[in-house]
Amino acid sequence: MTSTSMNPEVKATLPSSIRNARALPECPKFASIFGPDFRVLDTFGKGSCFFHAWAAAITEGYDWIKDKKVKEAIGIELRQSVYKYANEQLYNDAVQFVKHKYEQYAKDCAHHTPPSPTIPSFHTFRRNLKNTTVWADLVMISFVAYTFNFNLLFWSDDDCAFYYGCDRLDVKNDLPTIIILWHNHVHFETVVQVKKDGTVKRQFHWPQDSAFLSRIQKEYNSTNTV
């Protein structure tokens, strides 16, 4: 981590995952939009990186776990919990959410509308969810956002911009916001804020984080309504 604002003594007390969290110098817009104290945490891969990124954002004490196998198991167990919880009614509700978001996006972004998302059957969805080597797609991520009540925003380091996904900005005041990096269009990682006193923020809420959330919402809307 290259933050010059943090006291070296404070930095030394942080777990290695936070000390080694990286900025995105290849994408200057990232720091100007999020802030100079935002960093990206490395995430396990092998097909379940979205669930590992989500786990890093919601699991208390996650970064203090030194055993990598134990840490990796948290994300896998989280995915398995979603699999066990999923039923056809919840899935159908999430699918309607996906369709609504796409219709809204297509209306606002008529000049660069992406292909309509592929909606798998519930059986296929559960089979893919159970298989930890299958990447999380828009439907799977939307199921998590809609069913478990998170506002998930994704930043692409290839495009240096937010990209369309499964935001819950319509009810953001009631939900925690989590920022996830889409690295090289193939890997999800967790975006966190590391404050001068060493405090690490992974979830952002209204109204206490209103200045930050207003800033990124403005950027998100400008990206997705051109």
Can you list the alpha helix ranges (DSSP code H) found in 7-63?
8-12, 16-19, 28-34, 49-58
| Percentage of residues in the chain having pLDDT higher than 90 | 74
Structure tokens at 6: 């943090």
Q: Output the domain CATH number for residue 150.
A: 3.90.70.80
* 2 belongs to a structural domain: no
Report the C-alpha gap between 139 and 108 in whole angstroms. 20
In a domain, 97, yes or no: yes
pLDDT value of position 98: 93
Phi, psi of 103 (to 5 degrees): -60, -40
Of 86 and 27, more confident: 86
Q: Identify whether 207 is preceded by a cis peptide bond (ω within 30 of 0).
A: yes
Q: Is 224 part of a structural domain of the chain?
A: no
Any domain includes 213: no
Strands 200-201 and 38-41: unpaired
Domain span at residue 29 reads 8-208
Of 4, 55, 37, residue with least CA distance to 199 = 37
* Residue 1 domain-assigned (yes or no): no
Within a domain: residue 46? yes
Residue 224: predicted pLDDT: 64
* 113 — pLDDT class (breaks 50, 70, 90): low
The reported pLDDT for the residue numbered 2 is 45
Condensed to tens digits (0 to 9), the pLDDT of residues 35-47 reads: 999 999 999 999 9
Q: What is the pLDDT of residues 167-200, one digit of tens each?
A: 998 888 899 999 999 999 999 999 999 998 889 9
SS3 assignment for 169-209:
HHHHHHCCEEEEEEECCCEEEEEEEECCCCCEECCECCCCC
Given a cut of 80, whether residue 106 has pLDDT beyond it is: no
Lowest-confidence segment of 16-25, 43-52, 119-128, 140-149 by average pLDDT: 16-25
In a domain, 69, yes or no: yes
Question: Is 220 part of a structural domain of the chain?
Answer: no
Q: Alpha-carbon distance 197 to 213, whole Å? A: 21
Instruction: Give the pLDDT mean for 199-221.
Output: 93
Measured distance CA(221)–CA(226) in Å, rounded? 9
Domain count for the chain? 1
Tell whether the model's pLDDT for residue 59 goes beyond 90: yes
Q: Confirm if 59 and 65 have CB atoms less than 8 A apart.
A: no
Query: pTM of the prediction?
Result: 0.92
217's CB contacts (< 8 A; 6+ apart) are: 169, 172
Q: How far apart are CA 191 and CA 22, in angstroms?
A: 10
Q: Copy the structure tokens of residue 119.
A: 């909606």
Q: Whose CA is closest to 167, among 214, 96, 217, 116?
A: 217
Give the pLDDT of residue 114. Answer: 66
Q: Token digits for 151?
A: 């506002």
For residues 44 and 164, the model is more confident at 44
pLDDT of residue 3: 45
Find the mean pLDDT for residues 205-218: 94
pLDDT at position 226 is 43
